[in-house]
Amino acid sequence: MTIPLPAVDITQNWCVHTDNKKYLFRYYLLYWDYEYYISQLQKSLGGQDIIIHDGVTYVVTFLEYSTKANPRRVALSFRSTHPELFGYVLIKAVS
């Protein structure tokens, strides 16, 4: 089995490979109601979707999610590689 490159694994794969978890400072999963998720969604100066959670700015990456579906709940996988105030969040519909 090939281990994915850390940058691709951390920013694009829902489940980070065990060997790449050592690069993560934060890595946790939360479930939010869709309405709350939408209320937390912001735009960065560069136009990217971001969520600021616990003082950390996370760039949003969508996985298994359709804006047309309007699910009741979403799962958010937060991860960052440094104790700095930046990271990634992957999102998918759960109901």
Query: Whole domain around residue 10: which residue ranges?
Result: 6-93
Whether 25 maps to a domain, the answer reads yes
Whether 47 maps to a domain, the answer reads yes
Whether 85 maps to a domain, the answer reads yes
pLDDT at 67: 63
Whether 79 maps to a domain, the answer reads yes
Using left for φ > 0, alpha for ψ between -120 and 50, and beta otherwise, residue 55 falls in left
Whether 28 maps to a domain, the answer reads yes
pLDDT at 82: 83
The number of distinct structural domains making up the chain is 1
pLDDT at 66: 64
Contact between residue 43 and residue 50 where contact means Cβ atoms under 8 Å apart = yes
Residues in the chain: 95
Q: Which strands sit side by side in the sheet containing 41-43, from one edge to the other? A: 26-33, 73-80, 86-93, 56-62, 49-53, 41-43
Q: Vertex 59, ends 57 and 63: CA angle to 5°?
A: 140
| Mean pLDDT per 10-residue segment, the chain (95 residues) | 86 92 94 94 91 93 71 93 88 88
Whether 1 maps to a domain, the answer reads no
pLDDT at 43: 92
pLDDT at 61: 86
Give the global pTM.
Answer: 0.88
Whether 71 maps to a domain, the answer reads yes
